[in-house]
Amino acid sequence: MTSENRSDLIPDTEKTNFIRDIINEDLRSGKYTKIITRFPPEPNGYLHIGHAKSICLNFGIAEDYKGVCHLRFDDTNPIKEEQEYIDSIKEDVRWLGFDWGEHEYYASEYFHTLHEWAIFLIKKGLAYVDDQTPEEIRINRGTLTEPGVNSPYRERSIEENLELFERMKNGEFAEEERVLRAKIDMASPNINMRDPIIYRILHAEHPRTGKEWCIYPMYDFTHGQSDAIEHITHSICTLEFENHRPLYDWFIEVLPVPAEPHQFEFARLNLTYTVMSKRKLLKLVKDKLVNGWDDPRMPTISGMRRRGYPPEAIRNFCDKIGVAKANSTVDFAMLESCIRDELNKTADRYMAVLDPLKVVITNYPENQEDWFDADMNPEDPNAGTRKVKFGKELYIDREDFMENPPKKYFRLAPGAEVRLKHAYYVTCTDVIKDAEGNITEIHCTYDPESKGGSSPDNRRVKGTIQWVNAKEAVTAQVNLYDKLFTEENPDRTDEGKTFIEYMNPDSLTVIKNAKLEPALKDIPNDKAVQFIRLGYFIKDKDSKENALIFNRTVGLKDSWAKIQNKN
């Protein structure tokens, strides 16, 4: 091996984890002079936040070390895989902000090489065709504590194996009738080494190779070799493959592969109040317990996109949670914090009310109107300002008025004065009710001196609430989301329940009659905004010109709710 020290490639970064330590060492020692990683999804479902961790790790390393990251579809099981998933995966990786350039690969492109390598193994006496039934194979594999027993077909001649494997390939056998196995050690304490199956018969059409094959290589016979073919230097996967590493290394050792990749394992991401297994997510979709893979309550990348999570926030989250080998469950609040942090810096502010309560400013002249300058984002002076129009009749949120307020309630109440954001101070003078005693309207007076939101006498007004002008407000549907599960760990089984039974019946609240500042009507679909005091929102893809729909991405931190919960 030529040994060139490329420690110059080691990035100056605060990101630190055991994988980067290994890479740094490999660069210093001259083991590698260029880093090549890969993200290897199986196209059998949509990507979720757990995949985002792997994507950020693999593509992030490639970026930082001036290397490349391949996007490789692990498409060895045509029964579960579909083109729809391939398309969604590419869209999601791209949306997260990563670029695989020309390096888009498919394990299925290597089927011919893999097939040749299988024959190579047979010729070396290191693989054989087994005629046992699945049941027999299972029984003879032994258990965790007992060794397996050799297949009666284990010592077939190389010629017979070659012929049988050829006939398998030619479609002469039914599924489950025969398999090709590596001949390793049926007594190995590592079950993966007990003559693992490397080829099975599947009379299924493949999304990419069509009907060309009826035998398909297993994951273990595919992954490492694909890594070798692509000259991957660091093949990073999750912990459950740790037991497979000896097998990975065995194939690399024994086969005439063009490179010697190495596998490293890290702990997959778990998040509180959500499930991450593709099987479970698929069930939620298939059983229509959610509205598709991109339901904003789903932990899928597409769900988060529709929910309004910015890709930068997801990437930042992946950086913050770190990469280690200990199983862990990250607090959902950590993700939300990253979302708010990003949105606080970037989202323009607008005013909206979710549950409109009419306010009449009794001393405001009938035909007067005021235009106020409202800052788009107090965090970003460059965001500029917009004009908002004030009027005699407004809407405020019903939550922002209480007839009998508790202590420390800073909002509107009879006799209380509040600031209407960007506009005037108002004081509540009357409460109007219907026959049932429901509050239908409140009357206020305004202080003309407080124009713009501050008064010459500098008197303190504790509360500031948002409002919209009744005359020009636009009506919209607003979707509020809560956790999909009520249980921190929906995967728990100790109560004898399934994850479905932990679903939160109130995970979606649809508000039909929200009133919005008119400017919101023309907001682009992918532009995140803040509704002042209510949270961050994004226009839903089903939103129409005359049927606006906004999804709440995440609420603002609510210290008032916290105070109330204490009492």
Partner RNA sequence: UGGGGUGUAGCCAAGUGGCUAAGGCACCUGCCUUUGGAGCAGGCAUUCGCAGGUUCAAGUCCUGCCACCCCAGCCA
- Kindly list the catalytic residues: 42, 268, 278
Q: Which residue, 43 or 295, is less far from RNA as judged by CB?
A: 43
Q: Of 95-103, 297-305, 390-398, 559-567, which part binds RNA (CB under 7 A)?
A: 559-567
Residues between 14 and 33 with contacts to RNA, criterion CB under 7 A: 16-18, 21
Secondary structure, 3-state, 263-306: EEEECCCCECCCCCCHHHHHHHHHCCCCCCCCCCCCCEHHHHHH
Question: Which range of residues in 110-118, 158-166, 256-264, 417-425 is near RNA by CB under 7 A?
Answer: 417-425
Dihedral of the alpha carbons of 71, 74, 80, 83, in degrees to the nearest 10? 30
- Residue closer to RNA (CB basis): 291 or 486: 486
By CB under 7 A, tell whether 341 contacts RNA. Answer: yes
Residues 307-326 within binding reach of RNA (CB under 7 A): 320-326
Alpha-carbon distance of 201 to 45, in angstroms, equals 23
Burial 340-366 (b: 16+ CB within 10 A, else e): bbbbeebbbbbbbbbebbbbbbeebee
Please report how close the Cβ of residue 541 comes to RNA at its closest, in angstroms.
26
Residue 16 makes CB contacts below 8 A (sequence gap 6+) with: none
Residues 348-377 that bind RNA (CB under 7 A): 349, 377
Q: Which of 409, 446, 502, 550 binds RNA (CB under 7 A)?
A: 409
Residue number with CB closer to RNA (2 or 404): 404
Q: Is 327 in the site for RNA (CB under 7 A)?
A: yes
Please tell me the distance from the alpha carbon of residue 552 to that of residue 105, in angstroms, as a whole number. Answer: 37
User: Closer to RNA at the Cβ: 122 or 347?
Assistant: 347
Smallest separation (angstroms) from RNA to the CB of 491: 9
Q: What are phi and psi of 552, to 5 degrees?
A: -85, 120
Torsion of CA 52, 55, 58, 61, to 10 degrees: -70
Options 112-120, 291-299, 338-346, 543-551: segment touching RNA (CB under 7 A):
338-346
Site for RNA in 44-103 (CB under 7 A): 74, 76-77, 79-80
* Cβ partners under 8 Å of residue 14, min gap 6: none
Q: How far apart are the first and last CA of the chain?
A: 70
Q: How far is the CB of 435 from RNA (least distance, A)?
A: 30
Residues 425-484 that bind RNA (CB under 7 A): 452-454, 463-465
Q: Does 547 bind RNA (CB under 7 A)?
A: no
Quick check: helix, strand or coil at residue 446? Answer: strand
Binding residue for RNA, selected from 183, 411, 539, 552, defined by CB under 7 A: 411
Cβ closer to RNA: 62 or 107?
Answer: 107
Asked if residue 415 lies in contact with residue 427, where contact means CB atoms within 8 angstroms, the answer is yes
**Nearby residues of 439 by Cβ (< 8 Å), 6 or more positions away:** 357, 398, 401, 403, 431, 432, 433
68 near 101, Cβ under 8 Å?
A: yes
Residue 21 tokens read as 């330590």
Q: Is 329 in the site for RNA (CB under 7 A)?
A: yes
Q: How far apart are CB 81 and RNA at their closest, in Å? A: 8
For RNA, the closer of residues 87 and 240 by Cβ is 240
Part in contact with RNA (CB under 7 A); list of ranges 82-90, 112-120, 156-164, 551-559: 551-559
Q: What are phi and psi of 110, to 5 degrees?
A: -100, 5
What mask, x for binding RNA by CB under 7 A, covers residues 488 to 527? ----------------------------------------
Number of residues that bind RNA (CB under 7 A): 93
The distance from CA 425 to its chain's CA centroid, rounded to whole angstroms, is 44
According to CB under 7 A, which one of 28, 138, 459, 471 is a site residue for RNA? 138
**In angstroms, what CA-CA distances link 250 with 229, 255, 365?**
16, 8, 86
Other Cβ atoms closer than 10 A to 13? 10
Which residue from 379, 393, 447, 487 is in contact with RNA, where contact means CB under 7 A?
379
Report, in Å, the least distance between residue 547 CB and RNA. 26
Distance of alpha carbon 551 from alpha carbon 542, whole angstroms: 11
Whole-number minimum distance, CB 73 to RNA, in Å? 9
Task: Give the nearest distance from C-beta 56 to RNA in angstroms.
Answer: 13
CB of 45 to RNA, least distance (A): 10
Report the site for RNA in 181-220 (rule: CB under 7 A). 189-192, 197, 200-202, 216, 218-220
Using DSSP's 3-state secondary structure scheme, residue 336 falls into helix
Question: Which of 6, 306, 392, 422 touches RNA by CB under 7 A?
Answer: 422
Spatial strand order of the sheet with 104-106 comes to 36-39, 68-73, 104-106
Quote the least distance from Cβ 362 to RNA, whole Å: 22
Site for RNA in 235-294 (CB under 7 A): 239-244, 267
Q: Annotate 360-399 with DSSP letters as a single string.
A: EETTS-TT--EEEEEES-TT-GGG-EEEEEE-SEEEEEGG
Token pair, residue 239, equals 């912990």
